[in-house]
Structure 1
């Protein structure tokens, strides 16, 4: 197991290093500059480019870029959004908000999805199965921002139980509606995949053997069925987790959540190179980390996968 994890971790680091190089190269082809203000003269723009080192040769900028990131996790300063502020001091606080709401949505959606999936699979072709399936279809079909608007109108306006916009003075309560809105798609996906896998597992020969021995139905599902059915669920939770942790841009806009999604859009619109690089790196690091965790969980749940990948 240790060899398997070490190998996966090594290739994850190689991938992240490659992404850093590609990000720098791609930004060289980004049209415009951070100083597109029409009021600035060409001489003023030249002075600003010199001040921030944008007029230096390509390889000099690349060396400074890689050295600062790898040794100090320093992505430089913001060139336009909050000029002269350290980029990590701008991104990390917003990332924390997006991550917290994302983890809440992941926990809620996964928990409800497992509950609905188990109920649906263990009561196949009954009204409970139909109800869980309908809820899952609705969750997949309707975008998160529609749920956000409905929740905001119902529980923020008609029944003013929660704040319509994000409130720093009460971050827990004001994050409840965004959490529910983001969790709907997760819940629907987990329900659909778990139902399909669990029905197949419960119909297998070894499950029938366990049931023939008189084992309680709940224990059969919890100890034998659910563990094998969770493999497909873990597969979809990887990318879903990254999407939730980095925030949903539209949901953040609906509730005025100062998350990382809206910051990325502003950085692109203003050509704030350093902010774009750090946010893209964070997205990539989270995605690669989740893939690594998923691979490790595969090996824990089903040792046959670990052996196959190790070979």
Structure 2
């Protein structure tokens, strides 16, 4: 297990280095510079700014300097906000993104999995039909459409929730609903199909023949095995929800990391784009590693295979 974990951590470091390298050279391949869009910027001022941020150095030197900063967990300064670092931008937006993301994760797990179980246990009956109809709508309708419609109806027309910001608990309702709606629908459909497939396996028939209680068969034998595909998907889903949604944060004017990322692209703030991309990639790789470790708990056969490898 420890050798496997060390191997995965080594692969994560190599993958992160590849992402850093690719992002750096893609940003430098874009024509122009971060200060080109400034109006009435004299050539002397632009040259002074390039010298201040080291942009007048050769690309390979800039790359080495950036790698050195990454090793110190320093993502560099923002080119558009004097005196502001990318680290501080992420630190400022992370609490907003994290709070909405964690609430969305709770909704996805607390609603998606039980709804899928209810649908599977009531196959071809009205609970199954109702859950699948709602889930199909949730998957088919884009999140930005859900955000716009709910914002218009519940905020502008009815006034039940604020139109923007997170000043009180009501401000979380629409962003969390918009973030989690698609994934609740997706997880419920995946849970249903996986559990139905598990219930038809031979060992489930054997468990029923032994006279085991339905609850014991479902939770000890059926649900645990059927959750493997769900856990596989939940890793990237959790990473996606924790790091926020660009569109959702823009629509609801939430000062999260996603909104900073969109603004950094608009402002051509290269260091912010690279820093937030690297942060997103690191979160995603950590979540995938956690999912792989959860496999060991869910399926003992994986544990035996890893121990013998």
TM-score of the alignment, normalized to the shorter chain, above 0.5 = yes
Give the CA RMSD over aligned residues.
1.7
- Residue 35 (str. 1) matches residue 32 (str. 2): no
Is this contact kept in 1: 2:117–2:192, CA < 8 A? Answer: yes
Give, in whole Å, the separation in 1 of the partners of 2:177 and 2:215.
28
Is this contact kept in 2: 1:148–1:181, CA < 8 A? Answer: yes
Give, in whole Å, the separation in 2 of the partners of 1:59 and 1:10.
25
- Residue 57 (str. 1) matches residue 54 (str. 2): no
Normalised TM-score (structure 1): 0.93
Give, in whole Å, the separation in 2 of the partners of 1:214 and 1:307.
29
Aligned counterpart, 1:3: 3
Shift of 1:8: 1.4
SS in structure 1 at match of 2:284: helix
Is this contact kept in 2: 1:32–1:271, CA < 8 A? Answer: no
Shift of 1:309: 5.3
Is this contact kept in 2: 1:91–1:260, CA < 8 A? Answer: yes
Aligned counterpart, 1:301: 298
Shift of 1:195: 0.7
SS in structure 2 at match of 1:157: helix
Aligned pairs for 1:283-302 (under 5 A) are: 283-302=280-299
Aligned counterpart, 1:229: 226
Which sits farther off after the overlay, 298-307 or 122-131? Answer: 298-307
- Residue 166 (str. 1) matches residue 147 (str. 2): no
Structure 2 portions without partners, runs of 5+: none
- Residue 260 (str. 1) matches residue 261 (str. 2): no
Q: For residues 60-94 of structure 1, what are the alpha-carbon distances to aligned partners after superposition, in whole Å with 9 as ceiling and x for unaligned?
A: 222221112202x11221111x2221221112221
Is this contact kept in 1: 2:296–2:302, CA < 8 A? Answer: yes
Shift of 1:38: 3.2
- Residue 240 (str. 1) matches residue 241 (str. 2): no
Aligned pairs for 1:98-247 (under 5 A) are: 98-167=97-166, 169-170=167-168, 172-247=169-244
Q: How many positions carry a matched residue from both structures? A: 307
Q: For residues 210-252 of structure 1, what are the alpha-carbon distances to aligned partners after superposition, in whole Å with 9 as ceiling and x for unaligned?
A: 2233332222211211100001111111222222222222211
Shift of 1:125: 1.1
Structure 1 portions without partners, runs of 5+: none
Normalised TM-score (structure 2): 0.93
